Structure 1
Amino acid sequence: MKQIILIPQDVDDSGKDYLIEKGYELRILHDSSIETICNNISDCSGLLLRTAPCTEEVFDAAPNLRVIGRHGVGYDNIDLAAATARRIQVCYTPLANANSVAEHTIMLLLACAKNLVIKDKELRQGNYEIRNLMPGRDVFGKTLGIIGFGRIGNSVAKKAALGLEMNILAYGHRLKIDNVPDYVTIMEEVDELIRQSDFISLHIPYSEETKGFIDSKKLSLMNPDAVLINTARGGIVNEDDLYQALKEHKILGAGLDVFEEEPFKETLSNIFQLDNVIVTPHSAALTKEAMARMSLDAAIGIDEVLSGRKLSWPVNQIDERNHGI
């Protein structure tokens, strides 16, 4: 009998074709609610997961589940402790979307610097004079502070330093100085990085430790001409504090791809009312190329576990005593 892989939200054909070629049966849903997942997962060995929630309730309904292949880098939608306690291996796709997110970050940085969105809007309304009313800014020679210097932060630094000739500061808790390029200056204190930066780009994961990491205190350290870019996770920025800083022009602007609530269940954030913010719908990683890579790499991880091969990109560690992450 074929092992069944559940896919709550459809993915690129690359991953599906790979699993079919390996002999798996796919079950693709059109509703990714917890209830629908629970009703369809009882006989599944694997779960190829995008942004759908994977809670203890899901695990209770999945006695045969052995592996979750996370389609992406973040895994805050998975109850990792519950998965580990049930000896369910979680893997992810850390190599698939770093370049795509880095490109999106640079796009937001330049769009904010050049007042792109508001100039587009005003010109379409016949306001040619906007060219003189809102001059843009060069990024050449400006300082970009990168908070979180993993694969994505490193890629952003390379593009900004070598392509745009910006000065790069970086901060990260587990940053290994030996692996840092010579065009990057490591900062020991994040507050000092914030003070010295013209642009700040966030690339840290969401956790209890980083929740609300950028708040009114840290925003007050930014200079009035500084811009905040967030393509990481919405929850690491306190949106109410950011709204006040932007509304009162304590900072120049922001480029946001992620938000505290996704998708929006009620009203839009007040941030959407402001002209000095550029927003995109958590789409930095959603290029055609990255979607194909994420789908395939998640599928490879699932097959590695179910076929007993060495896992390329594990998230949790499953030991013989069945405890610990």
Structure 2
Amino acid sequence: MSSLNASFSLNISVVRPEYFFILGLSGIPYSNLYYIFIFIIYFITVIGNFLVILLIVLDRSLHSPKYIGVFNLALADIGETNALIPNMMKTFLFDSQYISYNACLVNMFFVFLFSSMQSLTLVVMAYDRLIAICLPLRYHVIVNNTSMISIFSAVFMFNSIIVASMVSLVTNISFCKSNVIQSYFCDHGPMFRMACNDNNINKIMGFLYTTLYLIAPMLVIFLSYLGIFLVVSKIATWERRLKALKTCVSHLLLVGIYFLPIFFTYLTSLLLFSTSNSRVISTSLAYAIPPMLNPIIYVLNTAEIKNTIRKGFKNRSLPIETVSK
């Protein structure tokens, strides 16, 4: 305890540690193999999302409202992945599980900022599909590049304010009991539970964050697709119904692989079904796998992106003389 107390500094009535110890995968069998698995996921995620961003930037035919959503989702995927996995790899490579107080708050801000961007981007993409199917004649009036850029700018500002408020409230916590975070990053929940002063405001903020970025988005997306299915059910032929629903397949897959693992992790944590180790593994997988799968889903299920890739390969395979002509 003397070494722990030595790491604390008193700031008025709030006790703040100079550093935190992130428990991570300590004590988990075969953790080295898991670190390697996570690094492979990281590599695929960064390359895949970067290629999607590059395709959208270079191909003017993809400069449309739908792909502005895909572009923002890819940016959020890269941001969240880089906020999470490099810190895990630092532990694996250098056996360093310590992080300074200020660096921990910065880490928390960026993890939750990009995670909230992923969540609300999927909501905006559901809105795009809703207007496209339910109001096809007015789609280009309601949804255009300018309106989508404005929506995503507003979403980014809103998320920044909410996440910054959540992180700023953590500075009011006195960590006089422990500086060991039972997670693999500077997670808000495990941190405010270490408080030895009143942490009710942080509990409320945690509940607000969960409501805004997990429960509310799932409800809005569900209602959006309920409206879509009601409209599609009124279409006369099965061929036209399937054609309309086919435009939603990629988005529905993205929604499923993002929300279901996170919802399952939160549910098991609330019901106390999971141990500390299982929570770390399930949470890390819930945050790491969706960003890896998102670009794969869009490449495999979107005709426009597949056509762009085919055109790129065809242009590279043409003889130099043909290209010059």
More strand by share: 1
Calculate the TM-score normalised by the size of structure 2: 0.23
Calculate the TM-score normalised by the size of structure 1: 0.23
More helix by share: 2
Q: Which structure is larger by alpha-carbon Rg, 1 or 2?
A: 2
